[in-house]
Structure 1
Amino acid sequence: MQFLVAAVILIGVLTVFNLLLTFGIVRRLRESPPAPALPPLTAPLGAEVGAFSAVTTSGETITSLPDGTLVAFLSPGCAPCHEKLPDFVEYAGRAAVRPLAVLIDGADDPALAARLEAVVPVVVEPRDGSLTEAFQITGTPAFVTVEGGRVALLGLPPVAVGA
């Protein structure tokens, strides 16, 4: 019986000690500064799109975009890009204004370019390409909708994700 009482007391003391440690950890986490925000992948909303000149894989030269154009910046080795690809392709099939796909370093994956060419015009360019610079792209995937030469929407439009 004495062992049972001693075990219950020991468990109670350990539980209180664990609770005190947990409160200490929570207090320190609240006092610590928040993690820095990730840098934006594109120009901010409302920013003017810079001048550009790009050639699609079909040979068409693009120097401006109609209002409502969604520009998708994708990379072949980017796992999140491949996850968003079906939503983008679905959106492209239903969009009133034809989107544009920009493959950054896309020469590495001609199969991806071919898959997109069936649905949208495709531009393949390096990381410091004309469109990438005009939209201030720092990472992929990035989706930008243009209105009046300015960034109007960031991300895939809600219709693209089944909303």
Structure 2
Amino acid sequence: MAFIVALLVLFGALSIFNIVLTVGLVRRVRELSTKQRAPMPPRADLPPVMRAEGERVEPFRAVTVREEPVSEDFLAVGPVLLGVFAYGCTSCHERIPEFLSFVAAQDYRRDQVLVILVGKTADFTEELPLLDPIATVVVERRQGPVARALGVKAYPALAVIGAGGIVRAAGAGMNSLTPVHESA
């Protein structure tokens, strides 16, 4: 009989231990799920994707997909809408149609839009026919001359560059761009 009592006490202790462990795990899961649902930090808390507002773009030289030379002189008059998109970047792929719509809605001319595609020309067979008619397009490797001059740290990088090559607005999303032409 003592043996049965001992087994019942052991079984009761294991059951209580199991309940305590389960309650602890449920609390931990709730904590983790609350952290995952936390809102994204405001845009100001995100690291910059390129040179910040008010900074000047450094000198650069490159060749467009039309074999035309392009340099920092392209940015001298302003405003110039800029988009830097990398091959293999899902956000970049999603942002290109929004960028095209923005260019059309704001009525930018081809000589006011500069697009840098990071990768190989063959990587952008779908995008080039859409971008080339509305933008001056440069394809370069990662940290190529234009990306370095712009201080690109992440993709996509979007900006409005004012007269003299001064960054007026920059960020990773379309909401970071000035919605209308700014005066030079």
**What TM-score do you get using the length of structure 2 for normalisation?**
0.62
Any residues of structure 2 matched to 1:27-46 within 5 Å, and which? 38-46=46-54
Shift of 1:107: 2.5
Q: Which residue in 2 is equivalent to 1:78?
A: 89
Q: Which residue in 2 is equivalent to 1:8?
A: none
Shift of 1:108: 4.4
Aligned mates of 2:123, 2:142 — CA distance in 1: 15
**Aligned to 2:179, what secondary structure does the other structure show?**
helix
- The Cα offsets for residues 7-43 of structure 1, whole Å up to 9 and x where unpaired, read as xxxxxxx9xx88xx58xx69xx8xxxxx9x6532101
Q: Paired residues, what number? A: 136
Aligned mates of 1:134, 1:74 — CA distance in 2: 15
Q: Which residue in 2 is equivalent to 1:105?
A: 119
Shift of 1:44: 1.3
Any residues of structure 2 matched to 1:24-63 within 5 Å, and which? 38-63=46-71
Look up the equivalent residue of 2:169 and give its one-letter code: L
| Structure that is richer in helix per residue | 2
**Aligned to 1:48, what secondary structure does the other structure show?**
coil
Q: Which residue in 2 is equivalent to 1:95?
A: 107
**Aligned to 1:159, what secondary structure does the other structure show?**
coil
Greater C-alpha Rg: 2
CA contact (8 A) 1:76 1:108 kept: no
Look up the equivalent residue of 1:44 and give its one-letter code: A
**4+ residue segments displaced more than 6 Å:** none
- The Cα offsets for residues 73-115 of structure 1, whole Å up to 9 and x where unpaired, read as 0012111111111121112223345211100114341312232
Shift of 1:50: 0.3
CA contact (8 A) 1:144 1:153 kept: yes
Shift of 1:145: 1.2
